[in-house]
Amino acid sequence: MIQPLLSCLAGMCTPFKKRSSLMPPHLSAELTHYPVEILLAGVALGDGHFRVKLIAPHCDTRIAIEHEYTPKPLLSRPEAILQSYLDAISQNRCRILVKPRLADVFQHAKGDLGGFNGISQKHVDFLICRNDDWMPMMGIELDDSSHERADRKKRDMFVNAVFASAGVPLLRIHVREIDRIEQLVQTLTKAWHHRSASLEA
């Protein structure tokens, strides 16, 4: 049963190998000697070898822990639709991250615990980064009726302020507007050029 899965993963990994030019030449050469499935699931050890570790029980096994956890889709249906549009528009010219924590996007002053606490439990729906250096170029929030609540409005105002203070454009798109592709392309392009100009200034 595992061979079809490995074949599938090997196909998924093909673009990765094509982009290996970003790696140091010696590392890129070394990686080509390892099977794709080892690269995906291997653990690099000090002796230079890879050993596969599968951290999962049998599908019929149930483990008792204090809290119950079950997997869920990472994106809602509107978010998945917008993600597909972003993929089609970008055509691999940028990197699209899904729901990164603000603490992983923005730095704060060393020792500023309040600054960290303010962003550690918040995320942005999508983050667009440059391909070469992963520099954040813009954030995208997909808003629905829940954003009309007082607590969400307060949270949204804070997120708006964080992006504005850091000079990173933040696009807010209502779920009713995600099918307006032409308008989406224009807004994304404008935000990208605005951010690029600020980085070059």
Domain count, the chain: 2
User: What pLDDT score was predicted for residue 191?
Assistant: 96
Give the tens place of pLDDT for each residue, 182-193: 999 999 999 999
Give the tens place of pLDDT for each residue, 76-129: 999 999 999 999 999 999 999 999 999 999 998 888 999 999 999 999 999 999
Give the tens place of pLDDT for each residue, 159-170: 999 999 999 999
Is residue 67 assigned to a domain? no
- By the 8 A CB rule, do 95 and 134 touch? yes
Range of the domain at 113: 77-200
Is residue 66 assigned to a domain? no
Categorise residue 167: left if φ over 0, alpha if ψ from -120 to 50, beta otherwise. left
Q: In the predicted model, is pLDDT for residue 39 greater than 80?
A: no
Residues 196 and 139 in one domain: yes
Residues 43 and 82 in one domain: no
More confident residue, 65 or 39: 65
| Confidence category of residue 15, pLDDT binned at 50, 70, 90 | very low
Residue 121 CA from chain centroid, whole number: 16
